[in-house]
Amino acid sequence: MSDTDTTGLAEAGVTGLRTPIVAVLGHVDHGKTTLLDEIRGSAVQEGEAGAITQHIGATAVPLDTIGEMAGNLVDPADFDLPGLLFIDTPGHHSFSTLRSRGGALADIAILVVDVNDGFQPQTLEALDILQRTQTPFVVAANKVDTVPGWNPHGRVPIQQSIDAQSDRAEKDLNDRLYEIIGELSDNGFSADMYWRVQDFRSNIGVVPVSAVTGEGLPDLLTVMMGLSQRYLKEDMSVDVTGPGAGTVLEVKEERGFGTTVDIVLYDGTVRAEDTIVVGGKNEPIVTDVRALLQPQPLAEIRTQKQFEKVDSVSAATGIKIAAPDIDDAMAGAPVRVVRNRSVDAVIEKVEAELSQIDVETAENGVVVKADTLGSLEAIANALQEAEVPIVRAEVGDVAPRDVAVASTADEQPHEAILAFNVDVLDDAERQATDSGVRLFADDVIYQLVEEYEEFVTGIEEAQQEQVLDKIARPCRYQILQDHTFRQSNPAVVGVEVLAGTLKRNSHVVKWEGGETTRVGQLKSLQDEGEDIDEARAGDRVAASIDGPTVGRQIEEGDELWAELPEKHAKILEQEVNDELPADEREALSMYLEKQRNRDPFWGK
């Protein structure tokens, strides 16, 4: 049935099986795009050019073509589903953007892992998203052709290629594959080579492939098709002529059409002239479809300049919609066709979906800007795990008003904006510089969060250094025998620092009968005739002490202490203890023990 044939059947309601939507995820440079390109290129070779439909943001590969590509591994007669729809926007942040009724829009996923690199940070992020959205997936263990001594055999089933390799190359590959299986196990997934998996619901299948040579591609398509048929067939049953439901992939200007939205339609039909409701930045947008546009078959959307107008499209597909008043539409937001329903009821549905991805905000925190609702939610989750509060989270470029909000933060670490995959407007950048607001921009979520955490750590360390500069430091030291240089006014003696930090201008105390007695004030320190501000454990220096007389209040061999006010001792123990050197912690502990022997609550 062609796109335009569905129009006359719309009122009757026609149930059919839609194409499963496949997302491709993985760490940067692990071969996601190359794998998609290989699938597309192979599909063109094996199928008729007109049969492989290039949609907005997706490539539909029909079942017959999959059968040709997979060879003996797939018999099209065994399947009811029409084929597979591969999403052309790889990367887990795009996957988060593809949403359906509050969950992941993709029905099934391929997690690409480089056999040389194994699991990397974005692999773990992708796994977390797959687990959270309960999306079934297989692992494509990519780049088998890079194993030393590997002899490529073209697009053949992987076991056929492995059997033709040397024993050494086969062993090397197996070692790498079992490392990936081990890493999956470490992350809570039971996995094995796909041909050994009996139940794909409880075990993850690992498919060795090469996106460059095509080896293992027949296996990957077979597994994806088999999983879809066995476990997803029921979910693929839709009213193909009912009111369409989809998700916005991208909002952009299109010459001759103004602002357009690229959407993935996962249910029903959209027709030219339909009234639709689209999730907007401030409120749902009600508008009328002016045109439905799709690229010519096999044309890449990134380079395609001319679009073909169509009368209607049915799920599952990608399509560009031209419509008035959609400038504030958001990537990741729902799109709903009104048709025979009330506009208010459809608006309610859109609002309900948007409320499911509201980011929890606090009275104080950082400002977050992202390119899509999906990535906004993914960043919010990452920040929540890092215990970073958010005061405002929105889709869109960083604007002056975002800087204004960040500049009013009550704590320095919160005077920050985290921008994911968006632009920073020039006037916002100038305003941020003038007001001291820190801008963090990245297109990798974990790197963005790491950069912010490093910034906060730097602030905390600087604050602790300031605290340590302003408070007394614990120190235990001893007057050396035969090292009295002057008896009084002031007394000048040689001392050895036993533990802690000895600083000039500190008060000097002795412990006598369980009580401290202040004997004077340390006025200056010298090391080999040079004035110094402090001495550390193990140092021997000359100390000038104002107040006591050697032979009366102090004696050679006496153990002296730097006096710690109770408030300072509490800060040292409770706030900066981890920042103190081990010997200083030891001196603090001994000082506290002595004080608490007479008063158990001292310094608490």
488: burial class by Cβ within 10 Å (0-12, 13-18, 19+)?
Answer: middle
Burial class (CB in 10 A: 0-12, 13-18, 19+), 555: middle
Name which of 409, 465, 456, 450 is nearest 432 in CA terms. 409
Confidence check: pLDDT of 500 > 90: yes
3-state secondary structure of 441: strand
The pLDDT tens digits for 181-191 are 999 999 999 99
pLDDT-based confidence at 164, cuts 50/70/90? very high
Residue 505 in contact with residue 523, Cβ under 8 Å?
A: yes
Which residues pair with residue 440 across a beta bridge? 418
Give 6-23 as a DSSP string: GGGGTTT--EEEPPPEEE
Residues in the chain: 604
CB 216 within 8 A of CB 161: yes
Q: What is the pLDDT of residues 426-457, one digit of tens each?
A: 999 999 999 999 999 988 888 899 999 999 98
Q: Which residue has the higher pLDDT, 249 or 306?
A: 249
And the tokens for 593?
Answer: 């023990």
- Buried b / exposed e across 96-131, counting CB within 10 Å, b at 16+? bbbbbeeebbbbbbbbbbbbeebbbebbebbbbbbe
How many angstroms separate the CA atoms of 358 and 9, rounded? 38
End-to-end CA distance of the chain: 79
What's 147-158 look like in SS3? CCCCCCCCCCCH
Distances in Å between the alpha carbon of 175 and those of 29, 172, 205, 419, 586? 21, 5, 16, 40, 49
What domains sit in the chain, N to C, each tagged with a CATH number?
Answer: 19-235 (3.40.50.300), 239-355 (2.40.30.10), 366-466 (3.40.50.10050), 475-598 (2.40.30.10)
In three-state secondary structure terms, 52 is coil
Which pLDDT score is estimated for 10? 36
Helices and strands: H and E segment counts in the chain? 14, 34
| Distance from C-alpha of 50 to C-alpha of 308, rounded to nearest angstrom | 14
Residue 501 CA to residue 598 CA, distance in Å, equals 25
Identify any residues that bridge with 238 across adjacent strands, giving them in sequence order.
16
Residue 91 has pLDDT above 90, yes or no: no
Nearest to 516 by CA among 410, 397, 597: 597
> Does 10 or 169 have the greater pLDDT score?
169
> What are the beta bridge partners of residue 247?
264, 334
Number of neighbours of residue 358 by Cβ within 10 angstroms: 12
pLDDT 10s digits, 59-73: 788 898 899 889 889
Asked if the model's pLDDT at residue 7 lies above 70, the reply is no
Please give the average per-residue pLDDT across 191-214, as a whole number.
95
**DSSP assignment, residue 228?**
I
Q: Which of 268-277, 331-340, 562-571 has the highest mean pLDDT?
A: 268-277
Q: Specify the higher pLDDT residue, 20 or 40.
A: 20
What whole-number distance in Å separates Cα of residue 62 and Cα of residue 583? 72
Write down the mean pLDDT value for the chain: 87
Could you identify the residue written with the tokens 């990519």? 142
Query: Cis link prior to 333 (omega < 30° from 0)?
Result: no
**What is the reported pLDDT for 245?**
93
Q: Sorting pLDDT into bands at 50, 70 and 90, what band is 298?
A: very low
> Which of 384, 402, 387, 484 is closest to 439 using CA atoms?
402
pLDDT one-digit tens code per residue, 347-385: 999 998 887 766 788 899 999 998 878 788 888 888 988
- pLDDT for residue 100 is more than 70: no
The per-residue pLDDT for 23 is 86
Q: Check residue 459 and give left, alpha or beta (phi > 0: left; psi -120 to 50: alpha).
A: alpha
Beta strands in 185-257 (DSSP E): 191-193, 204-208, 237-239, 245-254
Half-sphere exposure of 45 (CA within 13 A, CB side): 11
- Find the helix or strand (DSSP H, E) in which 453 lies: helix 445-470
- Rounded-to-10 torsion of CA 157, 163, 164, 167: 140
Helices (H), 135-260: 158-163, 167-186, 217-227
Return the H-helix or E-strand segment holding 392.
Answer: strand 390-395
Q: How many CA atoms lie within 13 A of 318 on its CB side?
A: 29
Torsion of CA 475, 481, 482, 483, to 10 degrees: -10
Instruction: Give the angle subtended at the CA of 96 by the CAs of 92 and 101, to the nearest 5°.
Output: 150
d(CA 533, CA 3): 83
Q: Is residue 532 predicted with pLDDT exceeding 90?
A: yes
Instruction: Round to whole Å and give the CA distance between 12 and 448.
Output: 51
CB atoms within 10 A of CB 556: 15
What three-state secondary structure class fits 187?
Answer: coil
pLDDT at residue 299 tops 50: no
Q: Is the pLDDT of residue 141 over 90?
A: yes
Q: Is 164 left (phi over 0), alpha (psi -120 to 50) or beta?
A: alpha
Residue 600 has pLDDT above 70, yes or no: yes
The answer on pLDDT for 410 being more than 80 is yes
Q: Would you state the pLDDT for residue 1?
A: 32
Task: Provide the CA 490 distance to its chain's centre, in angstroms.
Answer: 62
Average pLDDT over residues 139-156: 95
pTM of the model: 0.66
